[in-house]
Chain A
């Protein structure tokens, strides 16, 4: 029973309508091989996809399929073995301007010697000439957006894991990015916090119009959050499928997850990942 019972709009079941929005992120023939002394690990085989301006795209794939590697390539922290990455049309040679990143290891991505407010404000000191007042306002507003208005003077290590991850999100928000990249940001927080943070991301996306690429290994999370789900295969890693999530824009942890459509989509993506392990993929070897 490989195929789903109900029609799902995906790259494998049909051609999605042409999207006329500008390309925010453009990934072509991306391949990454880690070379050690005598061992080569092919983390990514051949990836091609794009993300349009203003989209909220989730990217799901099994553990070890190269998701973090992909994020590091997109963020300009790593040079690809071959292929290229473009952000807003320019090739990525280093961290692209206007891009904010939230890593999985929130505890380690905050600077323990700085207060929460200083952490959130640090990137602003180097972004552009912002006055001290304006900077302080941005910091205060972003902390309020993540419900941490009164912990600005605390140090990150005085906060719980979920709060630390919210600080990392506030730092990304204050930066006012055009592109927000997130790598399994909620993998290590408890279920309730995680649900709250998912809704926070959607509400931020809807109110700011920022382009979001959200990486996760969790199929439920990918379908609940995204307007589109890019499915990665396991190694050799390629884009297995690209699924349009036609759920209502207003999502609710209980109601949305109970929708028949949610269950169908979830089931479809699940089946895609399972097929990827056995059958041929959408883009095979060149």
Chain B
């Protein structure tokens, strides 16, 4: 079906990827040394790695990483449950969907960061501040995608299975859910990304425990190389999340990708 899965194409792409990373590493080692900016605002890669490996040896680093992941996972989990639940209900009941459309369009564009004062008021600097922000940001992604998915049910499919005696619950299971699933997965993938952004933001701005807080601490302690190291860790975290969701997508939604003729990028 799909050309380029496996075979020489795959290895070629992998080799190119490795080459790209190697080049980026060399550049980030050489350029800072050549520029030699005052105050050490741009340390070379080797210094960053050294600082980071020192940090990784401490328990504080792992605690922070765990805190970030926990807040991210909680915010995302609540958002996924609420977004799918509400999206399925609104998506299958036409008048309810029309009644709520304008409210959703109003609430959705509010930047989550604008809720920082509210989060502080409610939860102070505890983990729940970050969870709330992550939840608010990712909830809309899941909700809107699920809504699209639920509306996308093909009436011919639905009527066919109705003729064959499938009741409402069976139709939700066999028609609505599979139709909406690709949209839901896309929503979750987008949501996972923004949730991570919001968690790190909350840690930076509010001081909730986590990698963001560590970055602030390193910055005020003058440990510039460590700041970069920790930023790289947040980037890796985001990458892992994305790769994970895509893997699920490819395995569970092979039919969908093929139906739409999309390339699983």
Which residues does A use to contact B, with CB under 8 Å?
A: 72, 75-77, 94-95, 97, 99-101, 103, 105, 108-114, 122-123, 126-127, 155, 157, 171, 175
Contacts and interface: CB of A to CB of B under 8 A. Distances in A.
Contact of A111 (B157, B163, B165): B157
Interface string B232-265: 0000000000000000000000011011000000
Interface string B140-154: 000000000000001
Given A103-B156, A111-B174, A122 B259 contact: no
B164 interface: yes
A112 B259 contact: yes
Contact of B165 (A95, A112, A171): A95
A126 B166 contact: yes
Contacts of A114: 174
Contact of A157 (B159, B163, B259): B259
A199 B259 CA distance: 31
Contacts of A127: 164-165
Q: Mostly helix, strand, loop or mixed at chain B's interface?
A: helix
5 contacts: A94-B162, A97-B165, A109-B157, A157-B255, A157-B259
Q: Mostly helix, strand, loop or mixed at chain A's interface?
A: loop
Contact of B167 (A75, A112, A126): A126
Nearest to B175: A111
Contact of A103 (B160, B255, B258): B160
Contacts of A112: 255-256, 259
Given A113-B178, A122-B174, A123-B161, A105 B258 contact: no
Contacts of A95: 162-165
Contacts of A99: 163
B56 interface: no
Contacts of A103: 156, 159-160
What bracket does the count of chain B residues touching chain A fall in? 20 to 34
A114 B175 CA distance: 10
Given A112-B259, A113-B256, A155-B255, A126 B157 contact: no
B170 interface: yes
Interface string B110-137: 0000000000000000000000000000
Interface of B: 154, 156-157, 159-167, 170, 174-175, 178, 255-256, 258-259
A100 B154 contact: no
Contacts of B175: 111
Contacts of B156: 103, 105, 108-109
Contacts of B174: 111, 114, 122
B154 A113 contact: no
A124 to B, nearest CB: 9
B82 to A, nearest CB: 25
Contact of B255 (A108, A113, A175): A113
The listed residue with most A CB atoms (<10 A of its CB), out of B161, B164, B174, B255, is B164
A123 B154 contact: no
B165 A123 contact: yes
Contacts of A126: 164-167, 170
Given A105-B156, A109-B157, A123 B164 contact: yes
B164 A175 contact: yes
A157 B156 CA distance: 16
Contacts of B166: 122-123, 126
A163 B156 CA distance: 18
A68 to B, nearest CB: 11
Contacts of B259: 112, 157
Contacts of B163: 75-77, 95, 99-101
Contacts of B165: 95, 97, 123, 126-127
Nearest to A127: B165
Nearest to A175: B164
Contacts of B256: 112-113
Nearest to B1: A158
A103 to B, nearest CB: 6
B96 to A, nearest CB: 22
A113 B161 CA distance: 14
A252 B160 CA distance: 31
Given A112-B255, A123-B164, A126-B170, A77 B159 contact: yes
Given A108-B156, A109-B156, A100 B258 contact: no
A123 B157 CA distance: 13
Nearest to B166: A126
A100 B164 contact: yes
Contacts of B160: 101, 103, 109
A174 to B, nearest CB: 10
B115 to A, nearest CB: 38
B86 to A, nearest CB: 23
